[in-house]
Structure 1
């Protein structure tokens, strides 16, 4: 099985606390991967290290064999990795459609001029709003969307850059069951089209129903990896979650 995103000995400390502690892990390319673990086990810090939001203290991260350790976020994004955040990062006073157009318009000095590229970006933005199911909200300010709709908007924004690998940080957090099902369907469809996913999530029903490969973190390092069934029955995972 080929791997895309891998880390070797990745470490990040805050003061005297090692949030990520020598993590060596590989995720399956072309599959839906999940990264789970108790609160405080280092999952979001791991995401931040591999996407360039923070610089690791030591260790390496690589993507398709190329070292991406410590690169700035925009370069990692250009390498084919997109991500969402635990708390939505959107422009609240812009419409849903404008939220998708801001990143792509900043690529050119002629951003204020109508061009074939801009028309293509506009068409793609509308297509993605339809894909995630909020096309009817295109002209609504993002701050007036429900939290679940904001999550869908953020996902559409990630897809706007056409990443090969998508990292989702708690996509189901604070979302109602109907929208969770919509997220489940989207991930399945996008994966079937060739996108790799790595999902941090506490909703175990979503994790176990979606994932091909699950990695479990505890105290900043991986303690188990395998299929959902293998992980579900691993005594190390039971101990980390349940203390048994």
Structure 2
């Protein structure tokens, strides 16, 4: 077991965003998390990664309860994530963004020119994997949105995560870049990384994921292979009202 939630719940005011969600993410697989808008997917991500605290339930990672852990501690334990809107430092260079992500280098030291040679080498390795190594000296704000997504993904791997949560990786990028991201995820999964992907692009989800969990109204209603969930009447009702 890589990640498991038990009875996870969160409400904002009188609106229940996640409602008793018990979910198990399959280790070594590319897991998909889908559902209609407002079904609780991003809130679920935020609960799992410690950005918000649940009202009830718990989160288990590698057999340990991490429900009350800080986002930094959770990331240090091997769980990384991206966001729907890229979180980068726009006025720092691509390489500086990578080095800050390590968290061993103090920002003040980095800006003063102090760099660890091993970390720089590791950063360049991941930039090369993403195909943006030629941009290492460019300020992040000058990158295209798709390139910023690749930078955010590269920065996550500076922490060497075992489980990576991707929030809308195909959102707002062109088809060629979507294909590159899908290929990267498959390659990294083949190397032993587990993924959990929230995505509205059903072609991407069904073509990339091994196992899919479907949310509706804050809770899972179906899970299985892409073929299984596509034909499940509960999924059709949630998406199409049929």
- TM-score w.r.t. the length of structure 1 is 0.95
Distance 1:242 1:126, change over 3 A: same
Q: How far apart are the structure 1 equivalents of 2:221 and 2:145?
A: 33
1:81 aligns with one of 79, 82, 89: 79
Q: How far apart are the structure 2 equivalents of 1:76 and 1:176?
A: 32
1:102 aligns with one of 95, 100, 111: 100
Structure 1 SS opposite 2:116:
helix
2:238 aligns with one of 237, 240, 243: 240
> What are the residue-to-residue correspondences of 1:109-124 with 2, within 5 Å?
111=109, 118-124=116-122
> Deviation per CA, 1:22-76, whole angstroms, max 9, x where unpaired?
0011010010000000010000000000000000111000012100002100111
Q: CA deviation at 1:86?
A: 0.7
- TM-score w.r.t. the length of structure 2 is 0.96
Which residue of 1 is the match for residue 21 of structure 2? Answer: 23
Task: Note the aligned Cα RMSD (angstroms).
Answer: 1.7
Confirm or deny: 8 A CA contact 1:49 1:70 kept in the other structure.
no
Instruction: Give aligned pairs, total.
Output: 241
> What are the residue-to-residue correspondences of 1:1-244 with 2, within 5 Å?
3-104=1-102, 106-107=104-105, 111=109, 118-244=116-242
Confirm or deny: 8 A CA contact 2:164 2:193 kept in the other structure.
yes
Confirm or deny: 8 A CA contact 1:54 1:70 kept in the other structure.
no
Q: How far apart are the structure 1 equivalents of 2:113 and 2:140?
A: 24
Q: CA deviation at 1:103?
A: 2.7
Distance 1:66 1:156, change over 3 A: same
> Deviation per CA, 1:108-143, whole angstroms, max 9, x where unpaired?
69956988x810100011111110011111111111
> Deviation per CA, 1:134-192, whole angstroms, max 9, x where unpaired?
11111111111110100000000111111000000000000000100000000000000
Structure 1 SS opposite 2:203:
helix
> Deviation per CA, 1:208-228, whole angstroms, max 9, x where unpaired?
111011000001000000000
Q: How far apart are the structure 1 equivalents of 2:13 and 2:106?
A: 41
Confirm or deny: 8 A CA contact 1:105 1:118 kept in the other structure.
no
Q: List structure 1 runs of 4+ shifted beyond 2 angstroms.
A: 103-115
Q: Which runs of 5+ in 2 are unaligned?
A: none
